[in-house]
Structure 1
Amino acid sequence: MKIIDDTLLDEVSAQAKVSPRLRMNYNFHQSLDDKCHRFLNAVEPGTKVEIHRHPTKDESFVLLRGRVRVNTYNDDGTEIESVVLCPEEGLYGVDIPKNVWHNVESLESGSVFFECKEGPFVPHEEEGVLHLQR
């Protein structure tokens, strides 16, 4: 059994802070080929999570601590919806259907969410990244 507690969240957050990408995963699944991927995703302000989609996979995020913004977009890059998740305010997570463009933005240091989606892992380059001129 793996316990999700403050110690684990602190460890993953510390790794995210020193990572060039300003984020770090802690996987509960054993292999990138597993059928179900379950992991912690620690994100720091300034991390770049490109607008992307998973054509065949639903994806769920549950924020354990901190504040993050989750955005969804149309095919032309127009924002459809935006929500700031914050457990202290009663906004805990989102479920994003397959083939919906989305991204995540960290608004607070130490933010960590639990993520679950179907495996196996497919890099975004193969699934889809929305390239917008901003």
Structure 2
Amino acid sequence: MEIIDKNLLDTVSAAAKSSERLRMNHNFHETLEAPCQRMLNALEPGTFVPIHRHRHTAETYILLRGKLKIFFYNEEKVIIEEDVLDQSHGCYGVHIPAGIWHSMEVLESGTIIFETKDGPYTPITEQDILK
């Protein structure tokens, strides 16, 4: 059992702030082969998330704190939609179907999402990054 409380969020945020990538996961799944990947993802402004897709799984983000802009793209790298996840404006999360090109911009320090997707973990390949 693990409680998701302010202390855990603060710990994961501190790790993200000190990380070279300016983000840090805290996994709840026990192995990378687990059929459901569940994690906290702490993100800091300036972290780089390339335009990418997950061909084998949908993913869902629920905003726990902070503010995040999500971008969706077509094959020509044109933004087709953008949304801001911001609890103060009633936007709490997003579900991204498999195969959809997306990226994000972190708008507030201390941003944390709960993220879930189908496992096992599959690293993003070059053909899943839109250049």
Coarse TM-score class (shorter-chain normalised): over 0.9
Q: Structure 1 regions of 5+ residues with no counterpart?
A: none
Distance across 2 between alignment mates of 1:7 and 1:105: 25
Matched to 2:46, the amino acid is: G
| Runs of 4+ in structure 1 over 6 Å off | none
- In 2, the alpha carbon distance for the partners of 1:23 and 1:129 equals 19
- The amino acid of 1:111's aligned partner reads T
- Alpha-carbon distance, 1:127 to partner: 6.1
Amino acid at match of 2:4: I
- What's the CA shift for 1:87? 1.1
Distance 2:83 2:123 in 1: 25
Cα distance in 2, alignment partners of residues 28 and 76 from structure 1? 36
Deviations 1:107-131 (A, max 9, x none): 0000000000001111112661111
Partner in structure 2 of residue 13 of structure 1? 13
How far, CA to CA, are the matches of 2:15 and 2:52 in structure 1? 24
Q: Equivalences for 1:38-53 in 2 at 5 Å?
A: 38-53=38-53
How much does 1:56 deviate? 1.7
**Take 1:101 and 1:44, find their aligned partners in 2: how far apart are those partners?**
21
Superposed displacement of residue 74, structure 1: 0.3
Q: Identity rate of aligned residues, in percent?
A: 52
Query: CA RMSD for the aligned pairs?
Result: 0.9
In structure 1, what residue type is equivalent to 2:41?
A: N
Is there any run of 5+ residues in structure 2 with no aligned partner, and where?
Answer: none
1:119 and 2:127 correspond: no
Q: What's the offset of the Cα at 1:47?
A: 0.1
Q: Does 1:78 align with 2:95?
A: no
- Confirm whether residue 101 of structure 1 aligns to residue 101 of structure 2: yes
Residues 7-38 of structure 1 show CA distances to partners (whole Å, capped at 9, x for unaligned) of: 00000000000100000000000001101000
Match of 1:31 in 2: 31
Corresponding letter in the other structure for 1:80: I
Partner of 1:63: 63
**TM-score, normalised on structure 2?**
0.97
Q: Distance in 1 between matches of 2:15 and 2:120?
A: 24
Change (3 A) 1:126 1:33: farther
